[in-house]
Copies of this chain bind each other. A is one copy, B any other.
C-alpha cells in the first residue's frame, strides 16, 4: 500500500548522540530491503538547503553500527528557519527525486520537520536521537542508555579517588532541561545526592543530607548535578557554598562535558536504533507521515510529531524514591 514513496532522504540534526549511525544504517538497509532508494543528507537541514546529498546503499553503511557520532554530520541551520531556506531545500529534494524524509534528532529537529510537512506536504518521520531523553513519546531516546554508561564509568573512576582521599565530589552531567541522566546515572553510580531541574532540593536540605551522610559513616560522597539544575548556583558555586558551611569536607568538582555525547553505542541503543529505523521507513511506506517512532512499554509505536514536540518527558517519581532509599 505504498503511497508512492520512491526515495527517502535521511538526516541527523541537533546534538549528536550514540546510536545515530545505527539508525542511519537501519533506515538505509530497510529502504534496500523494500527496494526503495535512499540518500544521505549531510549536515542536517543545512545540507538539505545546499544539496549536500549522497546515494546510499546497504554497503554504504557497513561497519558503522558501533560508531559514535554521525557519518552524516550534524549542524544547526538558521537558514532553514527562513521560508527561503526551506524553499531551496524543497527544490533540492524534488530535483533529487526524494519524496520522504527521516529526521533523526530532538525537539528542534522535529519542529523543522513539522513545518516542512505543513508547508510542502512532504512525508516526514522522526527518530528521537539525543542523550538527554527529554522527548515525549518514547521511554528512551537514542544515546540515552550509552550516555548513562559513560557517566557511571566516569563516576566509578572518580569514586576510586574520592574514597582514597575521603573526599566529596560534585559531578556535573548533561541535561539542561531534564534530569534523566542525573537521576539514572546517580542511582547507578551510587551517588549520595542527586540534584535535578525537576526537583528543587534546596541548599538547606542538601547541607543536612551531607551532614547525615557523614554521620552515617560514609567517608566519601558523590553528588550528581544536572547542568540545568535550578538552585540558583552553578556547580562551582555549590562547592563554595558547601565548603563554607561544612568545612570538614574536602570538596572537588568534575564537569563531565561533551564526552557524554560520544563513544560506541551500547547494545541497547544499537538494537533500539535498528528497530526505530525499520519502523520509520515502513511507516512512511504505509503512507503515514508527521509521526515520531518511539519506544513505549518495550514496543515501537508512533506518536504525532506535534505531541512529541509539545509533550513533557517527566522523570519517574519512583526513581526519586529509590534514590533516597539507596543513599541510606
Contact = CB atoms under 8 A, between A and B. Distances in A.
Contacts of A69: 159-161, 163-164
Given A63-B163, A74-B164, A253-B257, 20 more contacts: A12-B164, A15-B161, A30-B325, A58-B216, A66-B152, A69-B159, A69-B163, A74-B165, A148-B266, A148-B267, A157-B263, A158-B262, A160-B262, A160-B263, A161-B261, A188-B271, A189-B270, A252-B257, A266-B266, A278-B321
Copies of this chain present: 4
A255 B255 contact: yes
Contact of A148 (B18, B184, B254, B268): B268
A288 interface: no
Interface string A53-73: 000001100110111111001
A16 B257 contact: no
Interface of chain A, main secondary structure: helix
> How big is the A interface, by class?
35 or more
A145 B267 CA distance: 8
Interface in A126-167: 139, 145, 148-154, 156-166
A187 B252 contact: no
Given A165-B16, A275-B322, A263 B187 contact: no
